[in-house]
Structure 1
Amino acid sequence: MDASYSYYDYTKSIERIDNILNSSDSSYDKHTGIPSKDSLTYNNGFYVDVTVLFIDIRGSKELSSKHTRPVLAKIYRAYISEVITVMKGNTCINEIYIEGDGLWAVFNTTTKDDVNSVFATAFTIASLIDILNVKLSKKKYSTLEVGIGIDDGESLYIKAGYKGSGIQEVVWIGKVVGQTVVLCSYGNKTIHDREIMVSAKVYSDLSEHNKSLLVENISHNCYHGNVIRKDMNEWVEKNK
């Protein structure tokens, strides 16, 4: 978010803190599906069941040591722009966030079919990374290895920021976001860990076909797999 200078008055901070902390607990209701941002105020929020996907690059520090900054910029721009494009290709997409070389997205999933669509987004991203690696190899650049995590659960949806300043963000609070980050950190962590990690909750919502693409990871109490999209993999095989 953009920000500009404004004078700080601690007495105004005290007023704002009191206003927030004294707001009614009953202003936080359960909601089926993600409500409009217009329905959010600085005094309310909604408990919503969502699916969260997180992707992160393994060994990013080593990547930084091998290339000049202009090359790194090109690698990261290609990676970030196309992962975002895949995420936006899911009709359930609601929010996308960039955190360093990690990206995460919140999906408005109200049915099992919606959860399956997020799994499809995950393996499409996996295949995209394979395509990008073909391009990087031909440029003699380092290839990327990523971990992808998916979890589903209830999250508190609120608006946070500085009232009246125009500086505000939608914030997701709850275990599901943190657990997705943890699952992502397991992806490709060791030779025994596969690229995509999904929680038991997500696995239970998958179709029988999609379940067959994953196996249980006992060490991390989840399910994992190296799943690719057939048409994209055909391109990889022809062009690598």
Structure 2
Amino acid sequence: MEAKYKAYDHVAGRNRIRGILNQSDLDYQEKDSLPPRTDLTFSNGFYANCSALFVDIRKSSELPQKHKRPTLARLYRAFVSEMVAVFASDVDCREINIVGDCVWGVFNTPYKTDIDGVFSNAAVANSMVNILNKELTRKGITNIEVGFGMSWGRALMIKVGYEGSGMNDALYMGDVVNAAAKLAANGNKTWSDRTLMVSDVFHSNMNDHNKSLLAWNSARNCWHGNVISTDIEEWTTEQYES
């Protein structure tokens, strides 16, 4: 009988591993901003400053105890679809990733105005969570709480996957990603934690108005606040409370 699969070639695998590990550190270039994804190969990489924005659902492990899986599937689909839509609406968004109930993006932010743009994305997304909750209430589905995390810093951008397979992606490594993920995990975590968590360096690069919307959280060593889009909130009030 003809084999239905191609056997894995461990010798070729060993050679690929050696080739990757033998790559020179000189192949990783410093950039002022994130280069186009098309500049990436399997043998280079780029260091650049950027912003990371994470949003995930609080206490999501409790939801399966309250609703059946088809209901949860609709909830997660609605949440992820709008978070992705908000992120993708920003021309500076370079990458969007979905990991479980977490959506996160990497943004090219060479200018301070770009950092304020990321903050505005979070405010819009937060207002969309409010709309989602009103729609969930209409369907008798449990409302959700989320946490946002934002950070700015240096990341290493590389291409990962299996060359020639068509299975590859851009990977962003560095403290900026890790910090944003940790901040999002603390958003709305306790009664004293607000929804949006912002690193100190991100906050220092924001305009004065946006800075004024946040307060210092000494327990988390970051800035936090419950910030929304006033335009969307006005529309929401007209639609659901009038």
Q: Does the CA contact (< 8 Å) of 1:155 and 1:172 recur in 2?
A: yes
Once residues 78 and 38 of structure 2 are traced to their aligned partners in structure 1, the CA distance between those partners, rounded to angstroms, is 33
Amino acid paired to 2:112: K
Structure 1 residue matching 2:180: 3-state secondary structure: helix
* Aligned residue in 2 for 1:17: 17
Amino acid paired to 1:58: R
Once residues 155 and 103 of structure 1 are traced to their aligned partners in structure 2, the CA distance between those partners, rounded to angstroms, is 18
Q: How does 1:131-210 map to 2 (within 5 A)?
A: 131-210=131-210
**Cα offsets for 1:89-138 (capped at 9, x unmatched):** 11211100000000000001110000000000001111000011111111
* Unaligned 5+ runs, structure 2: none
Structure 1 residue matching 2:158: 3-state secondary structure: strand
- 1:34 Cα deviation (Å)? 1.4
1:100 and 2:87 aligned: no
Structure 2 residue matching 1:53: 3-state secondary structure: strand
**Cα offsets for 1:187-220 (capped at 9, x unmatched):** 0000000000000011001110000000000011
Amino acid paired to 1:127: S
Q: Does the CA contact (< 8 Å) of 1:131 and 1:232 recur in 2?
A: no
- 1:6 Cα deviation (Å)? 3.9
* Aligned residue in 2 for 1:127: 127
Amino acid paired to 1:188: N
Q: Does the CA contact (< 8 Å) of 1:134 and 1:236 recur in 2?
A: no
Distance 1:173 1:6, change over 3 A: farther
Q: Does the CA contact (< 8 Å) of 1:195 and 1:225 recur in 2?
A: yes
Once residues 147 and 5 of structure 2 are traced to their aligned partners in structure 1, the CA distance between those partners, rounded to angstroms, is 38
* Aligned residue in 2 for 1:48: 48
* Aligned residue in 1 for 2:33: 33
Q: Normalising by structure 2, what TM-score?
A: 0.95
Out of 199-208 and 227-236, give the one that drifted further. 227-236
Out of 56-65 and 185-194, give the one that drifted further. 56-65
Distance 1:112 1:6, change over 3 A: farther
Distance 1:6 1:151, change over 3 A: farther
**Cα offsets for 1:160-212 (capped at 9, x unmatched):** 11111111111111111111110001100000000000000110011100000
Q: Normalising by structure 1, what TM-score?
A: 0.96
- 1:7 Cα deviation (Å)? 2.0
Once residues 166 and 119 of structure 1 are traced to their aligned partners in structure 2, the CA distance between those partners, rounded to angstroms, is 34
Q: Does the CA contact (< 8 Å) of 1:94 and 1:106 recur in 2?
A: yes
Once residues 155 and 146 of structure 2 are traced to their aligned partners in structure 1, the CA distance between those partners, rounded to angstroms, is 25
Amino acid paired to 1:90: D
Once residues 36 and 230 of structure 2 are traced to their aligned partners in structure 1, the CA distance between those partners, rounded to angstroms, is 36
* Aligned residue in 2 for 1:227: 227
* Aligned residue in 1 for 2:62: 62
- 1:221 Cα deviation (Å)? 0.6
Once residues 227 and 5 of structure 1 are traced to their aligned partners in structure 2, the CA distance between those partners, rounded to angstroms, is 53
Once residues 181 and 30 of structure 1 are traced to their aligned partners in structure 2, the CA distance between those partners, rounded to angstroms, is 24
Structure 2 residue matching 1:76: 3-state secondary structure: helix
* Aligned residue in 2 for 1:77: 77
* Aligned residue in 1 for 2:118: 118
Structure 1 residue matching 2:233: 3-state secondary structure: helix
Corresponding pairs, count? 237
Once residues 91 and 201 of structure 2 are traced to their aligned partners in structure 1, the CA distance between those partners, rounded to angstroms, is 21
Please identify runs of 4+ aligned residues in structure 1 that moved more than 6 A.
none
